Amino acid sequence: MAFTLDGKCALVTGAARGIGREIARQLAQAGARVFATDIDEAALAGTGAIPGVRTLCGDLTAPEFPGRLVEAALTAGGSLDIVVNNAGYTWDNVIQKMSDEQFQAMLDIHLLAPFRVLRAASGWLRETAKREASEGRRVMRKVVNISSISGVDGNAGQAAYASGKAGVIGLTKSLAKEWGRYNVNVNAVAFGLIETRLTQPLGADGAAIEVKGRRIPVGVQPTALEALRAACPLGRLGTPQEAAGAVLFFCSPLSDYVTGEVLVVSGGLHF
Is 13's pLDDT higher than 80? yes
Among 268, 241, 23, 31, CA closest to 145: 23
Q: What percent of the chain has pLDDT over 90?
A: 88
Q: Kindly indicate the confidence band of residue 2, based on its pLDDT and cuts at 50, 70 and 90.
A: confident
Q: Hey, is 26 helix, strand or coil?
A: helix
161 catalytic? Reply is yes
Distance, CA of 249 to CA of 189 (rounded, Å): 10
Residue of 89, 161, 182, 257 with catalytic role: 161
Answer whether 263's CB lies under 8 Å from 152's CB. no
* 87-128 pLDDT tens trace: 999 999 999 999 999 999 999 999 999 999 999 999 999 999
For range 239-250, the mean pLDDT: 98
Cβ-contact 186, 172 below 8 angstroms = yes
Q: What is the pLDDT of residue 224?
A: 87
pLDDT at position 203 over 80: no
Mean pLDDT throughout 180-201? 95
Q: Is the pLDDT higher at 198 or at 159?
A: 159
Q: What is the mean pLDDT of residues 132-150?
A: 98
Whether the predicted pLDDT of 214 surpasses 90: no
Give, in order, the Cα–Cα distances in Å from 165 to each of 75, 148, 176: 30, 6, 17
Reported pTM = 0.96
